[in-house]
Amino acid sequence: MRLADVLDTCTVKTVTVATEVSLAEAARALHRDDAAAIIVENGRLRGILTAGDILRFLSLVTSPMLAWQGPVTAALSEGVEIATPEEPISRAILKMTAAGRDYLPIAAVEGIVVVSLCRLLLTENAQLHGEVQHLQTYIDALHDAPND
C-alpha cells in the first residue's frame, strides 16, 4: 500500500510557521490548533516541529527561559526527508523509526502534508490483519475441500 492511499486517514493538522518566529510563538500555535508545525524559510520546508520536539529541546538547554525567546529553528532536528505519495507505507515507517521521528512530511498535490507514525502503524496493522484473515479463510477452505 502507498502513502497516497492513506493520506486521508493518516495526516495530521498542521500550521505553517516562519523561521524567524520564537519557540514560544510556535508552541502557542501548536497548542491553539492542536497540530504539528511546518517550519518554512523562503518558501521551502526547513523542518517539522511537534510538542515532543519542544520538550526534548527544552530538557537539553541550560536556560529554558532564554530558549523560549529564541528562534524556533533551534528546536528543529536536522535532515528532514520529504517522502512522496507513491512511497510504500512500510518504507515510510522504516524511515521514521530509523530517524526517531513521529511525523513525516509528504510532498502531495495540495502541498506538504504530514503523516503520523502512529496512524501509519495502525493502518499497516489493519491491512496485515485483513490479509491474515483472508489467508485463514483460504486455508480453511482448502482443509474443508474433499481430498482428490
C-alpha cell at 142: 482448502
Q: What is the DSSP letter of 77?
A: P
Write b or e for each residue in 106-133: b if 16 or more Cβ atoms lie within 10 A of its Cβ, otherwise e.
bebeeebbbbbbeebeebbeeeeeeeee
Q: Are 29 and 17 in contact (CB under 8 A)?
A: yes
Looking at the predicted structure, is the pLDDT value of residue 19 above 60?
yes
Looking at the predicted structure, is the pLDDT value of residue 128 above 80?
yes
Tell me the average pLDDT across 37-60: 88
Tell me the average pLDDT across 112-141: 88
Q: Which of 95, 63, 65, 85 is nearest to 10 (CA)?
A: 85
C-alpha cell at 91: 518504507
d(CA 89, CA 135): 21
Tell me the average pLDDT across 35-62: 88
d(CA 34, CA 131): 34
CATH superfamily, domain 3-144, is: CBS-domain (3.10.580.10)
Looking at the predicted structure, is the pLDDT value of residue 71 above 70?
yes
Q: What is the pLDDT of residue 100?
A: 83
Per-residue pLDDT band for 144 (boundaries 50, 70, 90) equals confident
Tell me the average pLDDT across 6-12: 89
